[in-house]
Structure 1
């Protein structure tokens, strides 16, 4: 009975994913969004991988964040590294970029030397430079065969830093971004100049996808998402997340608790706010990912969905790993 109840709760907590259009050989759709990893936060989950997404287009596959385990999740989705044509990063918290090292290193190890375009906020170049430096002992070693020339890993990446409010195109993919509210640095401050968190909008195959990244309530994200076909949003249940953090850190200082509460309550989206922003933007479908806590019970997922539905009247999907939309 418990298993049946859980299955029923999951069924009530989601609607079927939208059809992704034509399918390539191997079962990969030509256009669509794949939630590779749907966990939220830096604590590893036994049931969900770290935050990562794949935007599949006729021209190739583009990663949107690349948390730990991203390469393995791509394999589960039937996507080889040779199909990855770009990486977009929302922000530099490690749960969102922990898999970049494996992505770059395994591309190199499998002789994929084509420069990978990487778009991200300020600091992305410094992060990638460090990863490239860490790759050099391997790339100089190769497979241990004397006389074989090595390929400089710095030639296999191309970084573009963006600050929000910018747009561009990569192959057949058009993109734009906006600075969101995952940080509380005062506009114009030195910290605001150094650190940005971005939401992204993508246009491909006649469809538009908006990824909130990690954010608190944000009019800029609403404006970016206006009329989009799919909004992919983060979500938090504050009470459950605070309780989990306190159980894991029973000796946390008062100052630490205050900082944690400020971050969780101002820099993330509770379910009602997810629904409000989706409704205000007029999006056609909402996909919810980046769960906090990262192992929500079926009952909690159902409650989140009900809170969203009270504000947003379109179709809602509570995403799972390696699901396609």
Structure 2
């Protein structure tokens, strides 16, 4: 990618398996630095579709540990290790992240870990471009208020309202560089913490998991609809709103059937225009409907 700062929608879908959309994942690219936020199903292949080599991801920030936000972590680690990744993958996320990383590599993928280790040992000595001796992954549990600052970027973890009341710690992230600011909500209902974190951002990537009427009918307190996401964008004064974490409203019939208890029956393609219109009725800046491998200039 060219120099500058870009926001990439790696996966734009929901927790329901959807042939049209991968699970939630975003990347922020600052010159040659690649920051990945969440790692749902299809992350690795969608990074490639976005023009990003997964081997080049140096930092992974998890908003929370629900399966749709970390389902592909093990595959990302094992596939990049096997394909010669050299740099350390530093993983940050709420309480439980360190345990998840250790359990994935040395538990779920122990057979793969042992295989790659054995494979490396048996490679002829003249082969120099072989994988490193270990997967080079480090993890750190973080809390709201965490900051990571380098010469290139600053990442801040902010407060959101998701499923903390049932034991799921969650955070959102703000990424700042000399080029601009990107805010990423993860999963949240509209809240002051997200407004504060997104203040003045060039791009806000916000959870729009359900239609407004579903939010109201189910009295949901853990996700946003298009109007709620737009309200955050308006009050934060952001320059562009990107709606993501979208349901399988027009997807394969079996995906719609599987998610019907959350999203209702199949809908026509006009639903996407309706979602954008709901947001535009509240927020007067540009509204972008996310899709997988969407690249946005900051």
TM-score by length of 1: 0.76
Question: Contact 1:59–1:171 at 8 Å: present in 2 too?
Answer: no
Q: Which range is displaced more, 167-176 or 313-322?
A: 167-176
Compared with structure 1, are the counterparts of its residues 177 and 311 closer, same or farther at alpha carbon in structure 2 (3 Å cutoff)?
A: same
Structure 2: 5+ residue stretches without partners: 252-266
Does 1:269 find its partner at 2:253?
Answer: no
Question: Contact 1:167–1:175 at 8 Å: present in 2 too?
Answer: yes
In structure 1, the partner of 2:287 is 316
How many Å separate the matches in 2 of 1:274 and 1:59? 30
Match of 1:174 among 154, 159, 166: 154
Does 1:111 find its partner at 2:88?
Answer: no
Match of 1:185 among 165, 175, 180: 165
> After superposition, where does 1:93-112 map in structure 2 within 5 Å?
93-112=66-85
How many Å separate the matches in 1 of 2:131 and 2:90? 21
Secondary structure at the residue paired with 2:234? helix
RMSD: 2.5
Structure 1: 5+ residue stretches without partners: 1-22, 243-257
Does 1:82 find its partner at 2:51?
Answer: no
How many Å separate the matches in 2 of 1:70 and 1:39? 11
How many Å separate the matches in 2 of 1:200 and 1:234? 13
Output one character per residue of 1:120-139: Cα deviation in whole Å (capped at 9) or x when no partner.
11111001001121242222
Question: Contact 1:66–1:96 at 8 Å: present in 2 too?
Answer: yes
In structure 2, the partner of 1:162 is 142
> After superposition, where does 1:1-325 map in structure 2 within 5 Å?
23-24=1-2, 30-41=4-15, 43-133=16-106, 134=109, 135-142=112-119, 145=122, 153=134, 156-170=136-150, 172-185=152-165, 191=167, 195-238=168-211, 261=218, 265-293=220-248, 295=251, 297-325=268-296
Output one character per residue of 1:35-82: Cα deviation in whole Å (capped at 9) or x when no partner.
0110012x2111111111121111321111111111111111221123
Compared with structure 1, are the counterparts of its residues 146 and 207 closer, same or farther at alpha carbon in structure 2 (3 Å cutoff)?
A: closer
Output one character per residue of 1:147-188: Cα deviation in whole Å (capped at 9) or x when no partner.
88995536x0121211112212245120101121111428xx
Runs ≥4 residues deviating over 6 A: 146-150, 239-242
Compared with structure 1, are the counterparts of its residues 206 and 151 closer, same or farther at alpha carbon in structure 2 (3 Å cutoff)?
A: closer
Q: Across the two proteins, how many residue pairs are aligned to each other?
A: 271
How many Å separate the matches in 2 of 1:110 and 1:171? 28
